[in-house]
Amino acid sequence: MSQPLIFSLIDKAIFDYDLIKNGDKILIAASGGKDSTVLVEYFSNRLRRPTCNFSIEIVHIETEITKPINPELASLFSSWNVEAKNVKVDVLGRLKEGHKMSCYWCSTQRRTELLNYAIQHGFNKIALGHHMDDILETLLMNMLEKAELTTMPPLLNYEKYPVSIIRPLCYVQESTIIEHAKKSGYISETCTCDYFENGFRKQTRKLLEELTDGDSVKKEHLFNSLKNIDPTYLP
């Protein structure tokens, strides 16, 4: 039986960017949303392949303002023969006096805990659920706000840490994930805390849709342009 399209796209990304090597210990960050759930499903499926030569662990970073993994989602993970470990973080308690709570602060603290956990337990890679739309939105945001031509790369090797970040969903568009999640019956939860601030990303998401007319081919062209840079025609 053929595998889902989304798995084939992930396979291609892993091959093109050499995201997995023999003996890798990969920590998968599971937020409870559809994107990271796709990663968990993919990796749990890949573990059953005869050529599997790496190991995984799934971690959910729980804070005072985010929920633990939904019991129905935990049950789904169990049906894939995997489970998510909860790691609690005191995000509000770490906030310095005079500073305002924000999504940026929360995500920074959760990322720090992922890095700490990975280093302490001997993982050399962390898999995140950022898809093509996330990468393109970040590209536009950085261009408009920071005047930088930067975004989230499929493979990021930290200079200060013995850990790399991989984004196996880089070839997968959000519409593909939504369609797959519906077919698979995912339980998907996103952050709805009182500190949620995503105005600029929402604007950029709308801008991306207007720029591409929601056309998946145009989004692919935008993504591929990042790999086809001709400095001769740049300032």
- Identify the CATH number of the domain in which residue 58 sits: 3.40.50.620
Q: What is the pLDDT of residue 90?
A: 81
The residue assigned the tokens 């393109």 is 136
Q: What is the pLDDT of residue 70?
A: 87
Cβ(100)–Cβ(2) under 8 Å? no
| Domain annotation covers residue 214 | no
Q: What is the pLDDT of residue 63?
A: 82
User: pLDDT tens for residues 204-231?
Assistant: 999 999 999 999 999 999 999 999 999 9
> Measuring CA to CA, how many Å separate 49 from each of 10, 39, 45, 46?
15, 16, 7, 5
Listed as ranges, residues in the chain with pLDDT below 50 are: none
| Domain annotation covers residue 227 | no
Distance CA 64, CA 112 (A): 16
| Domain annotation covers residue 178 | yes
Q: Quote the number of domains for the chain.
A: 1
Domain that holds residue 164: 5-136+149-193
| Domain annotation covers residue 210 | no
User: pLDDT tens for residues 126-148?
Assistant: 999 999 999 999 999 999 999 99
Give me the sign of the Cα torsion angle 17, 22, 23, 29.
positive
SS3 for the chain is CCCCHHHHHHHHHHHHHCCCCCCCEEEEECCCCHHHHHHHHHHHHHCCCCCCCCEEEEEEEEECCCCCCCHHHHHHHHHCCCCEEEEEECCHHHCCCCCCCCHHHHHHHHHHHHHHHHHHCCCCEEECCCCHHHHHHHHHHHHHHHCCCCCCCCEEECCCCCCEEECCCCCCCHHHHHHHHHHHCCCCCCCCCCCCCCHHHHHHHHHHHHHHCCCHHHHHHHHHHCCCCCHHHCC
| Domain annotation covers residue 220 | no
Enter the pTM of the model: 0.92
| Domain annotation covers residue 142 | no
Distance CA 143, CA 193 (A): 28
| Domain annotation covers residue 185 | yes
